[in-house]
Amino acid sequence: MSTQAFGPSGPATCTMSHAARELGLKRAELDLAVQLGRIRTVPDEGGGGARRVEHPEIDRLRAQDGFPGTLLERVRAVGTAEGAALMEIPAGRFTRLARLGLLLPVRFYSNRYRAVVWLYLAEELRQFKTAPENTRLLKGRTPETLRAQLEAGVDLRARNWRGRHLGFLLRQAEEPWARAGALAAFLPAIEVAEVVKDPYERAHINGLRPAPPGQAAPGSASAHLAERLMTAQDTDEIAWLRAELDQVLDEARTLVPAPRPAPRKAPALRAAARPIPPMAPTVTRPATPVHRPALPAPQRRDDPGPRQSRPARGPRAWLRRRNPRPVQA
């Protein structure tokens, strides 16, 4: 449980959920307002990376003209159909402008068909519509250079969202190692390993990597989608992130080195063993012969040997005992 900071007359800060209720916003709308810099937050003194909102900041927002309608309109995000209606152009033209990178998405989510749905700030769409230099893009034929890019398959929506989200993470980071973790979150693991060769520094940076946005369960299809969209794909984008990560690492190493495990203590030296005294010479005495009685030679099978008389058995012997033969003179 996070701790509260107390002022002279009570808690000086409140949780994000409590701030959303005070401002009449949904939690997702509050998070978006924080990302856009519409609402200032401070780190939670309890640690854990949580943020809190100060009560003077809530009072400042509530004192604005048209509250809460003005604040709600500034964080209103719309999809393709609603955005096209707001700009009074067909949905197909809206999508083409977004793919060309002229309309920057601010959020995304996965629908029930596991397709990416991009959301755009309604305030920015109105500004794009009213700009005189964008009239040709909203009406008439699309310029040939832009049509060639669309035919080549260009789609800058994910890249523009990554750049916007990286800016938010870098603004929230308060020390170089945290900024390194934010940059590493947009790079493939093999690219991070090539830039950060020290395993202890790499482990420290990985522990500071912010998770992809959203409340998807780890290992789910939505979580894999968020991780894929957050990972840089283009070669020039990866090269820029690597250069930024290398520069931030030099700054971080200069200020505070990455934590390392404590060195093991050297084992205590054993006491010197006493030398073993030489053994007395061994006298070998001749063994006393042992006289054993000679065993009889084994009897051969073909040698019948002396036979011993055995008493006759059977019916004939019984008759002879009953009727002995007369002795002849």
Q: What angle do CA 202, 205, 206 make, to 5 degrees?
A: 85
The C-alpha atoms of residue 55 and residue 18 are separated, in whole angstroms, by 11
The C-alpha atoms of residue 242 and residue 187 are separated, in whole angstroms, by 8
Q: What angle do CA 21, 13, 62 make, to 5 degrees?
A: 50
Is residue 185 in some structural domain?
A: yes
Among the candidates 92, 126, 155, a domain finishes at 155
Same-domain check for residues 170 and 186: yes
Per-residue pLDDT, 318 = 55
Amino acid (1-letter code) at residue 6: F
The C-alpha atoms of residue 314 and residue 82 are separated, in whole angstroms, by 124
DSSP label at residue 327: P
Same-domain check for residues 144 and 132: yes
The C-alpha atoms of residue 156 and residue 100 are separated, in whole angstroms, by 6
Looking at per-residue pLDDT, the higher value among 264 and 231 belongs to 231
Per-residue pLDDT, 299 = 59
Confidence band, pLDDT 50/70/90 cuts, at residue 296: low
Same-domain check for residues 119 and 169: no
By three-state DSSP, how is residue 51 classified?
A: strand
Same-domain check for residues 92 and 17: no
Per-residue pLDDT, 262 = 79
pTM of the entire structure?
Answer: 0.74
Per-residue pLDDT, 7 = 45
Confidence band, pLDDT 50/70/90 cuts, at residue 303: low
Per-residue pLDDT, 238 = 97
Is residue 280 in some structural domain?
A: no
The C-alpha atoms of residue 81 and residue 93 are separated, in whole angstroms, by 11
Query: Where residue 43 sits, what CATH number does that domain have?
Result: 1.10.1660
Confidence check: pLDDT of 156 > 90: yes
Is residue 30 in some structural domain?
A: yes
Same-domain check for residues 251 and 199: yes
> E strand or H helix at 294, and its extent?
none
Q: Average the pLDDT over each of 15-19, 141-145, 294-298 and give the range with the smallest value.
A: 294-298
Sign of the alpha-carbon dihedral angle for 302, 308, 314, 315:
positive
Is residue 89 in some structural domain?
A: yes
Confidence check: pLDDT of 244 > 70: yes
Among the candidates 47, 74, 101, a domain finishes at 74
Residue 229, both tokens: 């969209």
The answer to whether 77 and 106 have CB atoms below 8 angstroms apart is yes
Is residue 49 in some structural domain?
A: yes
Confidence band, pLDDT 50/70/90 cuts, at residue 157: very high
Per-residue pLDDT, 114 = 85
How does the average pLDDT of the chain come out, rounded? 84
Is residue 275 in some structural domain?
A: no
**Mean local confidence (pLDDT), 29-34:** 93
Confidence check: pLDDT of 5 > 60: no
Confidence check: pLDDT of 162 > 80: yes
Where b means 16+ CB within 10 Å and e means fewer, 284-299 reads: eeeeeeeeeeeeeeee
Looking at per-residue pLDDT, the higher value among 206 and 215 belongs to 206
**Mean local confidence (pLDDT), 252-279:** 76
Total domains in the chain come to 3
% of residues, the chain, pLDDT over 70 = 76
The answer to whether 162 and 232 have CB atoms below 8 angstroms apart is yes
Give counts: helices (H), strands (E), the chain.
16, 8
Range of the domain at 99: 77-155
Among the candidates 255, 274, 292, a domain finishes at 255
